Homo-oligomer: A and B are copies of this chain.
Amino acid sequence: MTSSLPDDLWPDVQPETARRLMHAGLECFARRGYHATTTRDIAAAAGMSSGALYVYFPSKVALLFEIGRSGHEQTLALVEGAVAGNGDPVERMRGLVEEFTAWHARRHAVARVVAYELQSLPEEEYRVVVKIRRRIEQLVQGLVSEGIEAGVFQVGDVRAAVRAVLSLGIDVARWYDDRSRTSPSVLGRQYADLVLRMLGAAPDLRSPAGR
């Protein structure tokens, strides 16, 4: 299964051995769930001893946390970039949804573990992740509000709309897999059109996504 994990999954994690352990942990968690996975399983999947694992991660929880934290940091960076980009709120929201959706398709294995196993984190570690998640929500909410002020978005309930925008992208990780026929970038464009309509921006229907 390692082959299905892209090399650039955690470009910032050093050394390569730590990255290999995170790959192995991700595979094990994705296959059997966090609780049914032992550090021995992870070490074996990485071709190492349990003792070697502890050099890089003091516990199974530390490894799960690192996967969750880095996954959230990556999506936060992507959202920050899109919100701070050029163009009016419509263009920036389009870019945000395209990238956010494509990330969850491309990184569906990471995103699944991030979305469904993080409740296993202890309180303190969980709070770190929730803080990043709140920041993402605030950024999207800011962009929606900017669009409303500029008169390009019309939204009944801003919080519900923000939740729906993010929820659509996150849920891609549940159903997307390597056999999905729609590519991550085409899916991103389709979802951007749907989201802009949800926000009352009504993109031109004569030029649908997938073009």
CA distance A174 to B164 in the complex (A): 12
Range of interface residues on A (Cβ < 8 Å): 35 or more
CA distance A156 to B210 in the complex (A): 9
Residues in chain B near residue A167, CB distance under 8 A: 167-168, 171-172, 174-175
Nearest-neighbour CB distance to chain B for A151, whole angstroms, equals 13
Integer count of this chain's copies in the complex: 2
Q: Which residue of chain B is the closest to A187 with respect to CB atoms? A: B160
CA distance A32 to B105 in the complex (A): 26
CA distance A21 to B116 in the complex (A): 24
- Residues of A participating in the B interface, judged by any CB pair closer than 8 Å: 32-36, 112, 115-116, 154, 156-157, 160-161, 163-164, 167-168, 170-172, 174-175, 182, 187, 190-191, 193-195, 197-198, 200, 202, 205, 208-210
